[in-house]
Chains A and B, each alone.
Chain A
Amino acid sequence: MVYFPSETEPDTVKTSNPFQTPPATNSTENTSMTIRPDVSDEYLVQRYKDGDADAFESLYQRYLPLVYKRVRFVVPEPDIEDVTQEVFIAVLKSLHAFRGDSQFSTWLRTLVNYKVAEFYRKRNRKQDPREAPLADAEVLPEEDDLPIEERIALRTAMSSLPEKYQEVILLRFADGMSFEEIARVIGANLEATKSLFRRSLSALRKNLEPKL
């Protein structure tokens, strides 16, 4: 059930994880001038549909870090910003058609996955996929955190995973969801979710093996 509050949310509502919709409550305060950071996503979507461009800015501020982090796990360094921007352009294009059948965060995750898949489709048309990691390495700056080879190995292994395996890993590591939250999102019980997580890591390990 998606909630569209007609007014503001109280100050006490906080959300540490933007992929979680904060609980909605009623109030009578008018918010025509400012959008507070603690209002629900659905409220911001409705404001945007009503012509308030600032509502999109709030959604952008709220979700950019997570979209960026999710993209960072699966897209090569030089293309992360571009794919992230593509995601938000797609949000702008289709937000008016968003009916609220699912949570905004779920809808956005689907959009991110679609844009990442589109990125790989376009890229594989342009060049031999086997040469792609080499192309990445040419433009990557060396960073202390993680050697280039390791970054390429992890991304290549991640992007080769079946969708449901990749998703459960991203939900835990990129979106920072607990296993209980992941279970709710994928519509499975906790035990099945943890089992899926182990199988996903096992598949990832196999993908990483030749480079170990």
Chain B
Amino acid sequence: MINFNSSLNRDEWLALFTDQALEGKVADQTLAASDPEMRALADVVLRLNNPFFQKNLEAATVKRMQTEIRARWRKEQLSRKSSWTDIFRLDWLNRSKVGQFAGAVAMVAIVGMLILSFPGILSGNGSMTGSAGLQPSGAFLWTIPLAAILAMSWLLRRKP
């Protein structure tokens, strides 16, 4: 038992009292401090040192919690995986969208073939064969890729 006296300052005394309380050497603060404030603080120390807060976990609880953590972790991993595939839409083939994907590819192929068949459309610096000197306008040049993008967006749109 330690008594509060002038040889120790308040901080030192309380630290020492706490050490002894945690070691189980102090059970009652009333004898330890005549100073009302220190007695009240000693009381708080004893309340915090209640066995309820210091109780050890049972082995069965440790094991059960471990199992639950594993299960929750597995569940989290699964949900995270599906959200990533969703973001990058890598699940096309799993969602019966093969037809839409094929349509988009076909559209791009047609546009590509048109460009390859009529290179004058892209160059824009000469008349096309048999076109009687007609020049493709700038707007027309932009229309084809724009139409292709719109078509792809429409074909790949998400249906509710």
What residues of chain A have their CB less than 8 Å away from a CB belonging to chain B?
57, 60-61, 64-65, 68-69, 72-73, 81, 84-85, 88-89, 92-93, 143, 145-146, 150-151, 154, 169, 172-174, 176, 178-179, 191, 194-195, 197-198, 201-202, 204-205, 208
CB neighbors of A among B104-160 (8 A): none
Binary CB contact string for chain B from 64 to 83 against chain A (1 if under 8 A, 0 otherwise): 01101100110010000000
Is there an interface contact between A64 and B41, defined as CB atoms closer than 8 Å?
A: no
Does B69 contact A202, Cβ atoms closer than 8 Å? no
5 smallest CB-CB distances across A and B, nearest first, come from: A145-B52, A146-B52, A194-B11, A194-B15, A195-B11
Q: Within B25-79, which residues are at the interface with A (CB < 8 Å)?
A: 37, 40-41, 43-45, 47-57, 61-62, 65-66, 68-69, 72-73, 76
If A60-B69, A61-B62 are given as contacts, then 7 extra A-B residue pairs at C-beta distance below 8 Å, sorted by A number, are A57-B66, A81-B65, A89-B76, A93-B76, A145-B55, A174-B53, A201-B41
B97 within 8 A of A: no
Q: Is B50 in contact with A169, judged by CB distance below 8 angstroms? A: no
- Assess the A179–B15 pair: CB atoms within 8 A: yes
Number of B residues, CB within 8 Å of A: 34
- Find out whether the CB atom of A154 lies under 8 angstroms from the CB atom of B47: yes
A197, B22: Cα distance in complex, Å: 15
Is there an interface contact between A65 and B56, defined as CB atoms closer than 8 Å? yes
Other-chain contact of A84, B37, B47, B51, B65 (Cβ < 8 Å): B65
The answer for the CA separation of A143 and B53 in the assembled complex, in Å, is 12
Most chain A CB within 10 A, of B15, B61, B76, is at B15
Q: Are the CB atoms of A197 and B50 closer together than 8 Å?
A: no
Q: Interface on chain B toward A: helix, strand, loop, or mixed SS?
A: helix
Check if B12 is an interface residue, CB within 8 A of chain A.
Answer: yes
CB of B14 within 8 A of CB of A201, answer: yes
Interface residues of B (CB under 8 A from A): 10-12, 14-15, 18-19, 22, 37, 40-41, 43-45, 47-57, 61-62, 65-66, 68-69, 72-73, 76
Question: Contacts A61-B62, A145-B51 given: A173-B22 contact, CB under 8 Å?
Answer: yes
Cα-based distance from A205 to B39 in the complex (angstroms): 11
Which residues does chain A contribute within 8 Å of B48, judged by CB atoms?
Answer: 154, 169, 173
Please give, as numbers and ranges, the residues of chain B lying within 8 Å of A151 by CB-CB distance.
Answer: 52
The contact of B73 among A73, A92, A173, by CB within 8 Å, is A92
Residues in B with CB closer than 8 Å to A202 are 37, 41
Is B69 a contact partner of A89 (Cβ separation < 8 A)?
yes
Residues of A contacting B52 in the complex (Cβ-Cβ under 8 angstroms):
143, 145-146, 151
Q: Given the complex, which residues of A lie within 8 Å of B76, measured CB to CB?
A: 89, 93
Report if A69-B41 is in contact (Cβ < 8 Å); known contacts: A85-B69, A173-B49.
no
